[in-house]
Structure 1
Amino acid sequence: MREVPQRLAVGEARWPEDRALVERLFRDYVAWSGDASSRETLEREASRLPGRYARPHGCVLIAHAGPDPVGVAAYRRRRTGVCELTRLFVRPAFRGLHIAEELVAGLIETAAEAGYRAMVLEVGETMTIARDLYARSGFVPDRRGAPSQPGLVVLRRELARTRAPA
């Protein structure tokens, strides 16, 4: 098994300094996913960054291996007390190094600190590696949530409350 790079750093995006970098990583995610609806959503998001990902209701984390940006993940407010994990992406050359786990753990911690009580996400039914990652991170199927399109599954994780809900 490959090891996480020793110089891996996961940090919160700074606005406006990291705007172009976040947009590039989001575009890499959409190109990798091949999802046409994600392309349309990205165009709206890109023109408004940080938009719904801005504090206090959202957050974008960027992973760097040395000086290279290698991954991204974000959450945004879905409704009072509940945020949505989205845009989790690690560049292909850096997969298998537990970078996605670091990004998810960072988002969970940050969302709990922001006062969210739960985090939800949608993932493809056939994306077994991603679903395994989310299961290891404490996400379970959410029968209450209806997926936005066929072939997706809604997952949910309760968060430890550290302050009033966002």
Structure 2
Amino acid sequence: MREVPQRLAVGEARWPQDRALVERLFRDYVAWAGGGLGDEDVDREVARLPGRYAPPHGCVLIAHAGPDPVGVAAYRRRRGGVCELKRMFVRPAFRGLRIAEALLAGLIETAAGAGYRSMVLELGGDMAVARELYDKAGFAADRRRAPARPGLVVLRRDLKPARTRVDAGAG
């Protein structure tokens, strides 16, 4: 496996300064993931950025290798102390450098610090590399929640208790 870039930096998106960059990375993710995500839903989501990804209930992390934005990952509040991981993406030229691991670790730490008790995500059943990443990070199949579409699996990970609490209202 290639080494993590020495100048890798993962940080929270700044609003409104990073809005265009986050939109571009989200659209790159959708183009890579294929047509199953629904163009109208994506258009609505990026038009409302930061929307449900705004702190304190959401978070968008951006990875930079030197000056280049190379990846993104986000979470948003669901309900009852649960957040949902969304839009995890590393640009193809930068894959295999453990950037996704850094993004995921940052999201888990941030969500736990915000008081979330668990994190969920939906994943295509054919995404073996991503599934391995999530398995290593402690995610497991969640049979209590049905996926939004056939062919997806729902994964869940408990988070460490945090000092602050997130409003458990509907998300």
TM-score, structure 2 normalization: 0.95
- Which residue of 2 is the match for residue 109 of structure 1? 109
Residue identity opposite 2:32 in structure 1: W
RMSD between superposed Cα atoms in Å: 0.9
Q: Give the secondary structure class of the aligned counterpart of 2:45.
A: helix
1:7-22 mapped onto 2 (5 Å cutoff): 7-22=7-22
Q: Is the 1:60–1:73 Cα contact (8 Å) retained in structure 2?
A: yes
The 3-state SS of whatever aligns with 1:121 is strand
Work out the number of aligned pairs and report it: 166
Q: Find the counterpart in structure 1 of residue 160 from structure 2.
A: 160
Identity score, percent: 74
| Alpha-carbon distance, 1:126 to partner | 1.0
Equivalent residue, structure 2, for 1:42 = 42
**Residues 30 and 37, structure 2, Cα contact 8 Å, conserved in 1:** no
* 1:53 equivalent in structure 2: 53
Contact 2:82/2:120 (8 A) holds in 1: yes
Matched AA of 2:127: M
**Deviation at residue 30 of structure 1 after TM alignment:** 0.2
* Cα pair 1:117 1:165 within 8 Å, conserved: no
- 1:116-127 equivalent positions in 2, closer than 5 A: 116-127=116-127
Letter in 2 for 1:164: R
Give the corresponding residue for 1:135. 135
What do the CA deviations read for 1:75-112 (whole angstroms, capped 9, x no partner)?
Answer: 00011200000100000000000000000000000000
Cα deviation, residue 40, structure 1: 2.4
